[in-house]
Homo-oligomer: A and B are copies of this chain.
Amino acid sequence: MRWRNGQGQTEDGSQSNDVLTKRYAPDELVAEFFAGKPRALARAISWAESGRGAELFHRLYGHTGRAMTIGLTGPPGVGKSTLSSALVRKARSVGKSVGVVSVDPTSPFSHGALLGDRIRLTEHFTDREVFIRSMASRGHLGGVAGATIDAVLLMDAFGMDVVLIETVGVGQSEIEVAELAQTVLVALQPGSGDSIQVLKAGIMEIADVFVINKADHPMANQLRREIRSMMEMLSFPGWVPELAMTQALTGDGVDELWAAIEKHAAYLHASGKYAEKRRQTFVHQVRQLALGGLERRLERSLRDIGDAGTDPYAAAVRVLETFGVGKD
């Protein structure tokens, strides 16, 4: 199998994507995909992003469900990209192929940080068993979340053993994206002051593994104590979140983090939660795609509404009637 990273294909912009999508028929693309050609994987993701996922997924979806998917989220500055890179290195060291899906923040205020983040992953660009993809997703019917699930499923169907979803931003949508993974890592930073806020704000509920990065920081142990005491106040019906201390830059603690991830994966399979999570992701993807379709149709309905003599609520009721949706 010849694997290359997908960066070459992803950064070309839409014009070159158009050229790529026009040159291939779905049959050809699927054939190349199953022949293990990384260009076909890159192209498949671009097709999905530009709204052509339906042509591929009825042939590829049956091949999904084998990859271990890991979501990584956390506040800015916590070292998510360095941690991603360390996890890729670890996965490679145990012989696993890795796909990385890097989700751009939707915030227009933080685009500046992206290039720097990507550079930290460059050490893996020449590794044939690593495929890195940044999501653009502008054209995707299901938005960022939909495009991300597609990319994860395509990497999974392609045969990647591990798919890491790294969310660069901190918005609710990025956290939702992270939740689509089987195992969710929440990275926290000592001395940042917002750790307890993070816990209060509902992040506790989504974390399968807490990662205290920059564990050499003088406040690292205090943060660990804070998280432990927060956890003691809650009850966990099944899985109790693990807590890993890492220094992603040196690789310290990454073995322990990896062990926690594998422990969680084993728990998911043993408890039957794995099938439940997969089902949730399926429903989420259907939701995103259906919403995209509804939104497009809604935009057409909105072109025709008048505003004379009516209020927005009354107008919305009329629009909903055209979808067969009544008051309830």
- Whether the pair A57, B312 counts as a contact (CB closer than 8 A) is yes
User: When chains A and B are docked, how far (Å) is the Cα of A301 from the Cα of B194?
Assistant: 39
Assess the A285–B298 pair: CB atoms within 8 A.
no
Question: Measured between C-beta atoms, what is the minimum distance from A109 to chain B in Å?
Answer: 4
Residue of B whose beta carbon sits closest to that of A206:
B108
Q: Does A287 lie at the interface of the complex (its beta carbon under 8 Å from any beta carbon of B)?
A: yes
Smallest CB-CB separation from A195: which chain B residue?
A: B112
Check: A223 CB closer than 8 A to any chain B CB.
Answer: no
Cross-chain contact A200 with B111 (CB below 8 angstroms): yes
Let me know if B198 and A109 touch, CB within 8 A.
yes
A268 close to B (CB within 8 Å): no
Given A290-B320, A323-B294, CB of A53 within 8 Å of CB of B313 = yes
Q: How large is the interface on A (under 10, 10 to 19, 20 to 34, 35 or more residues)?
A: 35 or more
B-contacting residues, A272-328, CB 8 Å: 279, 282-283, 285-287, 289-291, 293-299, 301-302, 305, 307, 311-317, 319-320, 322-325, 328
Rounded to whole angstroms, the CA-CA distance of A61 and B319 in the bound complex is 18
Whether, in the assembled complex, A1 has its beta carbon less than 8 Å from a beta carbon of chain B, the answer is no
Interface segment, A14-22, A169-177, A230-238? A169-177
Structural contact, B197 and A312, CB atoms closer than 8 A: no
- In the bound complex, CA of A314 to CA of B293 (Å): 13
Report yes or no: B307 in contact with A290, Cβ–Cβ below 8 A: no
Question: Provided the pairs A108-B198, A201-B109 are in contact, do residues A54 and B313 lie with their beta carbons within 8 angstroms?
Answer: yes
Report chain B residues within 8 Å CB of A54: 313-314, 317
Verify if A250 is at the interface (C-beta below 8 Å from B).
no
Query: Which residue from chain B places its CB closest to the CB of A315 in the assembled complex?
Result: B286
Closest to A297 in B: B325
Compute how far the CA of A161 lies from the CA of B212 in the bound complex, rounded to whole angstroms: 50
Q: A108 to B312, Cβ gap below 8 A?
A: no
B289 touches A294 (CB 8 A): no
Who on chain B is nearest to A174 by CB? B107
CB distance from A26 to the nearest CB of B (A): 13
With both chains docked as a complex, state the minimum distance between the C-beta of A262 and any C-beta of chain B, in angstroms.
Answer: 27
Interface of A with B (CB < 8 Å)? 53-54, 57-58, 60-62, 75, 106-112, 149, 170-172, 175, 193-194, 197-198, 200-203, 279, 282-283, 285-287, 289-291, 293-299, 301-302, 305, 307, 311-317, 319-320, 322-325, 328
5 additional contacts, CB 8 Å, given A58-B314, A106-B172, A285-B316? Answer: A54-B317, A57-B312, A61-B311, A112-B193, A290-B319
Q: Name 7 interchain pairs, CB-CB below 8 A, sorted by A.
A: A57-B313, A109-B198, A112-B194, A286-B319, A287-B299, A289-B312, A322-B324
